[in-house]
């Protein structure tokens, strides 16, 4: 565990060292959130969202939090180390590769959480604060956010592993951003999508990366429905973790080190 804690601390220091890059990336997510608030406020006033305005702004705030949390550049760092060959250094370290990358993500998480909390306080002060669920809802929401962190890390990690077989990561990154933003419900709630697309997205792991915690926080998913959504999140987290383990073993066999 000592090695993983050291990686977490190094990751946090890296964020503090490159403050400008971190701040700019957070500003990009924040401005998208502000734009979404403006658009959906008009639609909510016309009754087109399926949620009232307090519920909708809560959903959008949670979607913003899901977008801001879990290293915006975690996959880029991993992709660079794979393409440059520095991954060989990571392999010989006395820590498991997948768990080490997760520790790095967790190291920077508290800084991202502070930004999200600051935005939440600012919204509350302006009268646009999100709704707060009751005790039972708070427990379900917390569990959902924890599972979201695992799911988002795994999606980033799997995309990063693809660099073992590609020449460039940018195309993968753009595709990931587009797919996740659409199928997670971060841009449009899944209930407002065409039936076939909403069903597909609802059964995908991406729903657990914004839609599930957003619906629980907004009070639209309670009781048995909320527990079912949490169970789906947990199942996808386990499945993707095991898939990532298997893909890493395949990736190791594809490596060429010193012409070997």
pLDDT higher than 90, residue 88? no
What was the pLDDT predicted at 170? 84
Residue 242 has pLDDT above 90, yes or no: yes
pLDDT band at 212, cuts 50/70/90? very high
| 19-23, 36-40, 107-111: least confident range | 19-23
Which pLDDT score is estimated for 260?
43
Q: Please name the residue that has the structure tokens 């991202």.
A: 112
**Whether the predicted pLDDT of 43 surpasses 60:** yes
Asked if pLDDT for residue 259 goes beyond 60, the answer is no
Residue 18 DSSP code? T
Per-position DSSP letters for 189-228, written without gaps between them? -GGGS-HHHHHHHHHSGGGGGTHHHHHHHHTSS-HHHHHH
Q: Where are the domains of the chain?
A: 2-254
* pLDDT at site 49: 64
């Amino acid at each position: 565990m000592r090695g993983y804690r050291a990686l977490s601390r190094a990751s946090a220091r890296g964020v503090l060292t490159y403050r400008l890059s971190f701040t700019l990336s957070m500003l990009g997510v924040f401005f998208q959130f502000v734009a979404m608030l403006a658009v959906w406020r008009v639609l909510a006033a016309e009754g087109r969202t399926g949620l009232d305005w307090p519920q909708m702004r809560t959903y959008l705030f949670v979607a913003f939090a899901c977008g801001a949390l879990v290293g915006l550049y975690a996959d880029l760092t991993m992709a660079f180390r794979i393409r440059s060959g520095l991954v060989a250094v990571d392999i010989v370290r006395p820590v498991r590769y997948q768990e080490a990358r997760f520790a790095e993500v967790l190291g920077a998480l508290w800084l991202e959480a502070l930004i999200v909390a600051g935005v939440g306080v600012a919204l509350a002060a302006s009268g646009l604060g999100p709704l707060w669920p009751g005790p039972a809802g708070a427990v379900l929401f917390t569990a959902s956010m924890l599972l979201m962190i695992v799911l988002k890390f795994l999606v980033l990690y799997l995309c990063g592993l693809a660099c073992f077989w590609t020449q460039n990561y940018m195309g993968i990154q753009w595709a990931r951003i587009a797919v996740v933003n659409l199928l997670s419900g971060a841009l449009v709630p899944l209930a407002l999508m065409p039936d076939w697309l909403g069903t597909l997205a609802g059964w995908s792991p991406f729903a657990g990366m914004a839609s599930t915690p957003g619906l629980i926080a907004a009070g639209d998913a309670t009781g048995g429905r909320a527990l079912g959504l949490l169970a789906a999140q947990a199942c996808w987290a386990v499945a993707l973790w095991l898939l990532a383990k298997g893909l890493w073993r395949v990736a190791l066999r594809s490596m060429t080190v010193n012409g070997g």
